[in-house]
Each structure stands twice: as structure tokens, then as C-alpha cells.
Amino acid sequence: MALEKLWGKTAIRIVEGDITAYDGDAVVNAANNEFWMGSGVAGAIRRKGGQSIEAEAMAGGPALPGEVRVTGAGRLSVRFVLHAAVMAQDLVTSEAFIRMATRNALSRAEEVGIRRLAFPALGTGVGGFPLADCARAMLKEVWDYLAGNPSSSLKEVAFYLFGEEAARTFERTLAGFPGLGSGDG
């Protein structure tokens, strides 16, 4: 399953699938502020990409929730992992943390020359944040970022989501934004 819409010159893709299989420039890790990689998306990235990703991320911590650290990607097919701190050590997240982390990941991506980036649903696993609220918050941040940066070099922002419910929720939310052009989906 995949849905694609155009926001200006940037393709927004919704994909039900494994983020570690993404073939772009970078993936975003839903991280805690110490950057240790436990379960969920972080665990999948560490298992497939290697322990070096976690070691490099932890060397850059701790951070405040909402901040983003960029590391190499080990054995993943992408060049970078952007570790978005969406929670502190208490493993509790909020819409504000998710919004800040999304916005900061987009900004950091451009700073290091990333053109194609994939996000998971930040904060919905261990953080327990409601999926529909996450979709609204993240897609609104992408919308606002691209609207405020018309010369953005981002060519693709993908959302790689675990399970049909998550993908459908993001698809419905994306479809509700005005002025979107049709892509492949």
C-alpha cells in the first residue's frame, strides 16, 4: 500500500512497510533523549543497521525532547539516521515534542543535504501517543515547513508506517489537507 501526493515540488508518500528498507537518503528514528535504542523502530534500525548507530547516537546525547541528532546509518541502505528525541527517560511524549522533533528533523535534513527522508509515526510505540493525533501533528508540521520554505531542497518526505491501521490513518489525514496534487496514489 502506498499513497503519494505533491506539496509544491515535494512528494509526500504514505507507505505501509519497514522503514529500515527505505531507499532514500535518511530515516528518522523515534528516540529518547539519551538516544539508547531499545525496541520498536529504534530496535529495528539497530538490528539491521548495526550497533555503531546506537553508539554514535548516544555519544551525542543527552538532548532535550524535540532535538535531533544525525548519525551514520551503518549497514542500512540510507546514508544517515536522524534521531528525533520525542521523549525523555520517562518515555512519555506529547504533541509538542512530536511537532518539534518533526520540524527539527526536516531542518536538520536540509542542513546535511538530505533530499529524501522517511519518518515513522513518532511517539506512537513506547510513547503511547494516539495515532490519529500523531498523523495530524506530523503532517501539519511538514505542511507548515514546506509552506514556510518554498525553496526547500526536499524532494520526498515519506512516512513508513507499521501496520495497515497506521497507514490508513496517515492516508486519511493527508487526504484532508487542501491543495494537494495527485501523485501515484
Give pLDDT tens digits for 121-143: 999 988 889 999 999 999 999 99
Residue 185: predicted pLDDT:
41
Rounded to an integer, what distance in angstroms lies between the CA atom of residue 59 and that of residue 52?
Answer: 11
Residue 7: predicted pLDDT:
86
Q: Is the pLDDT of residue 24 over 90?
A: yes
Answer for the pair 70, 82: CB distance below 8 angstroms, yes or no.
Answer: yes
Answer for the pair 58, 42: CB distance below 8 angstroms, yes or no.
Answer: no
Task: Residue 87: give its domain's CATH number.
Answer: 3.40.220.10
Alpha helices in the chain, H assignment, sequence order: 40-49, 51-59, 95-111, 131-148, 164-175
Residue 43: predicted pLDDT:
86
Q: What is the pTM of this model?
A: 0.93
Q: Is the pLDDT of residue 111 over 70?
A: yes
φ, ψ of residue 168 to 5 degrees: the values are -65, -40
Per the structure, the count of domains in the chain is 1
Mean pLDDT within 157-163 = 96
Residue 179: predicted pLDDT:
59
Tallying the residues shown for the chain, one arrives at 185
Assess if residue 36 is contained within a domain. Answer: yes
DSSP 11-27: EEEEEES-GGG--SSEE
Q: Which value, in Å, is the radius of gyration of the alpha carbons in the chain?
A: 15
Mean pLDDT within 31-41 = 84
Answer for the pair 165, 29: CB distance below 8 angstroms, yes or no.
Answer: no
Confidence label for 3 from pLDDT (cuts 50, 70 and 90): confident
Assess if residue 182 is contained within a domain. Answer: no
Residue 89: predicted pLDDT:
74
Give per-residue burial for 149-183: e unless 16+ CB within 10 Å, then b: eeebebebbbbbbbeeebbbbbbebbeeeeebeee
Residue 181: predicted pLDDT:
56
Assess if residue 183 is contained within a domain. Answer: no
Residue 180: predicted pLDDT:
59
When the pLDDT of each residue in the chain is averaged and rounded to a whole number, the result is 91
Q: What pLDDT digit, counting tens, does each position of 55-106 carry?
A: 999 998 899 999 999 999 999 999 999 999 998 777 789 999 999 999 999 9
Assess if residue 184 is contained within a domain. Answer: no
Parent domain of 119: 2-177
φ, ψ of residue 140 to 5 degrees: the values are -65, -40
